Structure formats: C-alpha cells, structure tokens
Structure 1
C-alpha cells in the first residue's frame, strides 16, 4: 500500500511539474509574441506618422534643408511625386487621398524582408503584419514576423498569391489562438450585429492602401482555396463566390446581400481554424472597394 501511495504521489508531482512547465511555456510564448507584434507596430505606425507630418509640411511649401545646409522650398507637387519620407529619401511610401501615408512596410522589411503588408480589422485585435516566405508556405505557422519560433505564428499569404494583393482572391491565413490573438477575432463575425457594424478590412502594402468591405463570414468547407479555385479562370472565380453560400455550415455562416460580388471584382479572404470543427475553416471575405482612397 505504501508503494502505491508513493507511486501516486510521484505521479502527481510529475503531472504538476509538467503542467507548470507547459503553462510557463504558453505564457512566455504568448508574451513574446505580443511584445514582438507591439514592437513592429511601433515601427510601422510611428514611421508612417513621421512621413505624414513631412508631407503635410511639404504641402504648405515649408522650407527644408539639404545635407549641405542649402535651403529648398519643397512644393506640394514635389512632395507628391517623390513620395517624401521622414528620413529624407524618395519612394518610401505612397500617400492616400487624405494625405496620410500608409503603414511603413519598407521600415518593417528591415526587420524581415518577408513582411509584405499590414492588415487591420476594426473591432478586433487584428492589426498585424502579413508575411510571405519565398519557398515554405508553412513557415509562418510556427514563426513570428521576425522569424523567431512561435506557436502564434504570423498572418501570411502563400507563394501562389501576389505580394501586391491584386490577384482575384488573396487568402491570408492566421492562427485561432486561445489568448484571443492572431485571427481568433474573426469568429466575432459569426454575430450578425457585429458583422453589420464592422464591415471594413484595410491592407497596406509598400505602395498602396486597400480598403475592403466584408460581405461574408462563413464556416467553410476544408477546400484548399488557392489551389482548388484558379483565379485566372472566370468559371473558378464565379464558383468561389457561389461556394460561400453552399459549401458551408449554414447555422454558423452569414452572407450579406448588399454587395453584388462578381468575377470582375477583387476579394480578400481571411482564414482561420475552428476549435470544434477541426475539418473546417472560418473565413471572412471582403470585396475591394478603394485603393488609396479612390473608388475602384
């Protein structure tokens, strides 16, 4: 009997130790991922704000100095044509119609050249860089946006999709994390009221700011979208839009009828997993409405 008690006690100690170790790892991993994202967010947005301030000054004809100390009167036209950046270089970013510069992707690429864009979904915590590994589509499932190993990974697109987001359907993947980070927030769109009040997705690349209007949030089939549907074929583009109403779990899916999306539009698909339906994907789909503030 004493041996049994000793065994059970030892088993309990081992179990507690393992649980503590796993808990510590998960906490540390979550904290590191959050810190990494916060650091990149500061780089992305602070540089963009500085660039915006530079353009604002240039538009009023503010006198600036060259490295030699010579005064130059920078006109609004010059600032626009040269895409004046906060560091004094040209071509750093493109302005929107409002005069604001996008997220500074070029600054982020100094941390990791795989960063191709930034995605923001108002009403959720989704405000993250998007990566694209040049050869390994699974890399950012287990690595953060600076290439460090992380169970949180980083939102990413695959090599079959263009970095410009000008394919018919660009699919962005992200984990459904227990701590609510990454693309866990997509599940908020299962609520019709939330969806009605939050219809926007913004993607910033090195050259443009693209605004999408969400028209579908569905528990989708396990089809591998980028390879199941050929974006170059009109029939496949039409088939994808149709599948949003047919290849789904209907009680957990919403397709709004106020946007008539056709094969002539461009769309973005944000995709994550579901905790219960492991063989399904939850996707939020938006149609491109504006580029740099101009309607498309």
Structure 2
C-alpha cells in the first residue's frame, strides 16, 4: 500500500525569473512539499535526498546508468539535462532550442541533425533549471519504439505499477520524480492552455489531472489528492497511439533534489490584471 504525507516545511524561496510577464511580483513562500513514503518497504527503494530534507536517503545516480550527457553537451549546447526512466527505453538528453524555436526538435535529433523522430525537448516558455511548477517535456512516438513511444505503456495498470520513478540528471544536480498519474487528453499545448506562472494556472492543471486521470487514466494509489501549486512537476507528453488527435501524458512529482537547488516564487495574484 502506497500512501502520501504532506509535511509542513519552511523553505528559502528564491526569486523566479519570468520570461513573458513584466510585472511586480508578490512574493509568497511555499510551505508545503510532497513527501511520499513507501508503506511496506520504507524510503530506501530507489529514493534520493528529498527537497526540504524530508527523510529520503541520499543516493547517487543509478550505477547501471551512464547518461552520456557530457558527450551530447559537447556536440549540442541546447542539451541541459538527461531523462532516464529505469526498465524502459526512455534514456535521452533533454533539449531547449536556444533561439526559441519550439518546433526545431520535432524534426531534428539531439545532434541537430534532420530526423523525423525528433528529440526530447521543452519549449521556450519553460525554464531549463527545472524550477517551473510544471516542466512539460515533449517527444514523438515513432513506430520503432524509440523516443517517447514508451510513454503510452504507462496507460497499462501493470506497467504503471512497475515503474514508479523518473530521474532528471543535470550537470550540478540529480532530481527524482515519483510518477503519480498517466492519462490521455486533447492534443493541445499545456503551456498555452495553462499559465503556470500563477498559482491559479497551476491549480487548473491539478484539477485536470485528477479529473482526467480518474476517468480515462491511472492515478497511483495514495496520490488521489494533495497536489498544490507549491509542488514541482514534470509532464511527459507524446502522441496517443490508440486515440488519434489525443496525447498521452505521464506526470511525476519531485521528491528528490540532491543539490537542494529546486525552488521558486509562487504568485497568487490575479493573472487577468
């Protein structure tokens, strides 16, 4: 049985850069961070040092994992992190086009070579320090099973139950995400639909997650509630292989921040003003 606790933690909140909004911020400190505990086996199962020192064991990168990040970085300055999901084919650099072209990596690979399968990437509207509320990571689902084709497997309950964690490695940090939901949604851009620079936009996405994952997807047992704008998510997106015109999303919540660098300011202001 898995269950979720919320611990009240006082954090030092850093100033968060904004890319598209020029306004005076109202600084609000976040006090609630997700603390996920494994009820039967304890915190030792693939756990890492969690945000706010909530009791997870410190862990190095998985010993069997060699990301190749340095070699990719030497060839492409757009690479800023590496995504790895154990026991899957998902083991790729994450890129962000330096010129702000969100379509570039839909038909170019991690070496900037033309490639119909594209690469794994985030849009310009996301920060590449992984400090946004929701880092939306895109990838195609080619027939050969590479890139993000495996994301669709998370809609199978047995597969979902057997794959709990996703890791994001950076040059100066190692992040652990607990995979909490998988579902299908309309093929719209999340960063256009929701303004994650405001708490209200974060809450709207949380509402979508609980609603849609409850209807046509999967929510991990014990994670049916408790998310708030104070958390840090990754959403992996790809084309649905069973529902044309839809996308499959897999959502993970940050539970491990080895370097203690993931933080942000949360704006509870009115986004319409």
TM over 0.5: yes
3-state SS of paired residue (1:108): helix
Tell me the equivalent position of 1:114: 78
- Higher-Rg structure is 1
Q: Is the 8 A contact 2:185 2:247 kept in 1?
A: yes
Which runs of no fewer than 5 residues in structure 1 stay unpaired? 1-95
Q: Which of 269, 287, 290 is matched with 2:235 structurally?
A: 269
Tell me the equivalent position of 2:247: 281
Alignment map for 1:116-265 (pairs within 5 Å): 116-134=80-98, 135-247=100-212, 250-251=215-216, 253-259=217-223, 260-265=226-231
Q: Is the 8 A contact 1:98 1:293 kept in 2?
A: no
Which runs of no fewer than 5 residues in structure 2 stay unpaired? 1-56, 263-273
Q: Is the 8 A contact 1:104 1:206 kept in 2?
A: no
Q: Is the 8 A contact 2:95 2:120 kept in 1?
A: yes
Shift in Å at residue 104 of structure 1? 6.2
Name the CA shift for 1:223/1:246 in 2 (closer, same or farther; >3 Å).
farther
Shift in Å at residue 187 of structure 1? 1.2
3-state SS of paired residue (2:171): coil
Q: Is the 8 A contact 2:67 2:92 kept in 1?
A: no
Shift in Å at residue 277 of structure 1? 2.1
Greater RCO (Cα-Cα under 8 Å, separation 6 or more): 2
TM-score normalised according to structure 2 size: 0.67
3-state SS of paired residue (1:150): coil
Q: Is the 8 A contact 2:187 2:246 kept in 1?
A: yes
Q: Is the 8 A contact 2:72 2:111 kept in 1?
A: no
Shift in Å at residue 245 of structure 1? 3.0
The CA distance in 2 between the partners of 1:180 and 1:100, in whole Å, is 25
Name the CA shift for 1:188/1:100 in 2 (closer, same or farther; >3 Å).
closer
Structure with the larger strand share: 2
Shift in Å at residue 248 of structure 1? 6.3
TM-score normalised according to structure 1 size: 0.62
Runs of 4+ in 1 over 6 A off after TM superposition: none
- Alignment size in residue pairs: 200
3-state SS of paired residue (2:122): coil
The CA distance in 2 between the partners of 1:104 and 1:281, in whole Å, is 29
User: What is the CA RMSD across the aligned residues, in angstroms?
Assistant: 2.4
3-state SS of paired residue (1:116): strand
Tell me the equivalent position of 2:26: none
Tell me the equivalent position of 2:20: none
Structure with the larger helix share: 1
The CA distance in 2 between the partners of 1:206 and 1:104, in whole Å, is 11
Q: Is the 8 A contact 2:181 2:213 kept in 1?
A: no
Superposed CA deviations along residues 247-267 of structure 1, whole A, max 9, x for unmatched, are 46934x112242332211000
The CA distance in 1 between the partners of 2:60 and 2:218, in whole Å, is 35
